[in-house]
Amino acid sequence: MKKIGILNHKISSVISTMGHTDAIAIGDCGLPIPKETERIDLALIKDIPTFMQTLKAVLLELQVEEVEIANETKKVSPQFYEEVKKELGQIKINFITHEELKERLKKCKAVIRTGEQTPYANIILKSGVIF
């Protein structure tokens, strides 16, 4: 049995195969996931697991060089946005429309669906390199 890190085998597998600039997304329970993108569904009940719990776990294992967040997030869910910004630290944030974000999900290796029910609680993480 794995001793540390992400125990979910699908998430662990996707992260371990990611190369520079590959992307993985984390979304709320209402985010429409394209048919062609792998869905890793963690949603159990309302807010379990939360977006932030999932983001923190993924950031422990994935080297992220930049993220994409919908412009609408800052306006509609400002407290949530501030919490995400704090967790990201110095990682570059690019703002796009929610429609652009949904379109870009098609190029992600996977989308992790959480139980989060905060509007616009979605992010695309772009892999960096560790050297």
122 marked as binding residue:
yes
28 marked as binding residue:
yes
In the block, which residue shows the tokens 């996931």? 33
Number of C-beta neighbours around residue 50 at 10 A: 17
Active site residue: 20, 39, 46, 107, which one? Answer: 20
Q: Does the active-site annotation cover 9?
A: no
121 marked as binding residue:
yes
Strand partners for 67: 93, 125
Helix axes 51-61, 78-88, angle to 10 degrees: 20
Question: Would you list which residues are annotated within the binding site for substrate?
Answer: 28, 98, 120-122
Question: Would you list which residues are annotated within the binding site?
Answer: 28, 98, 120-122
Which residues are catalytically annotated?
20
